[in-house]
Amino acid sequence: ELKVEQNPLFLSMQEGKNYTIYCNYSTTSDRLYWYRQDPGKSLESLFVLLSNGAVKQEGRLMASLDTKARLSTLHITAAVHDLSATYFCAAQETSGSRLTFGEGTQLTVNP
Amino acid sequence: NAGVTQTPKFRVLKTGQSMTLLCAQDMNHEYMYWYRQDPGMGLRLIHYSVGEGTTAKGEVPDGYNVSRLKKQNFLLGLESAAPSQTSVYFCASSPGRKDQPQHFGDGTRLSIL
């Protein structure tokens, strides 16, 4: 059974600072997804990572995947208040069609 | 382009009542999913479908039933609602290709009294 763990679960940071959110998964997976959720809203897709060493960047967010370590990271550079949200990673088993989500990281960026 | 539409957006039920949540997608996606989201637990998969006429159990299927009679619709039923089913329910769809993420609806906030 695939399990996905994120840390930290809560993150409070100042504007302008850098930080990384970690996503570990328990079994073989060749696909890792990052989503953003604003309070009371739906989930918005941020990144799709499909191979070992994959790196994708969008604005101040950069995601990477290390399939050998079963680890994905979401790096935040020079945080701004608009990045405040809950971020979820989700992994899918190689032969399956189901996503398993992490618990989410609630990010608050303070002025 | 509406994407994934969930109906209703809010509902309050009494214990023992039944209801059906409707999910409709206009992207011609093969796969559809129902999740529930509870505080501190992320999203948990209830049931899913990999094509019209098919359904399969997810992580937390007990107390729910689903049907996929048409490709664009995926219905989630609660036969006898219980307070433990108070949650936010999200529907999602995907084309089934691993390079394409799941697309989510806006959610249904369901309270069982």
Share of chain A above pLDDT 90, in %: 83
- State the nearest Cα–Cα gap between A78 and chain B, in angstroms: 26
Residue of B nearest to A94 (CA): B98
Neighbouring CB atoms inside 10 A of B106's CB total: 17
Question: Are the beta carbons of B104 and A42 separated by less than 8 Å?
Answer: yes
Query: pLDDT tens digit string along A41-88?
Result: 999 999 999 988 899 999 999 999 999 999 999 999 999 999 999 999
Task: Tell whether A102 is within 8 A of chain B (Cβ).
Answer: yes
Segment B71-100 mean pLDDT: 95
CB–CB of A50 and B100 under 8 A? no
Cα B8-B13-B18 angle, rounded to 5 deg: 80
Pairwise CA distance, residues A100 & A36, whole Å: 15
DSSP string over B52-74:
TT--EE-SS-TTEEEE-SSTTEE
Whole-angstrom Cα distance, residue B61 to residue A57? 36
According to the model, what pLDDT value does residue B1 have? 61
For residue A45, give every residue at least 6 positions away whose Cβ sits within 8 Å of its Cβ, in sequence order, or none.
A33, A34, A35, B101, B102, B103
Is A41 an 8 Å CB contact of chain B?
Answer: yes
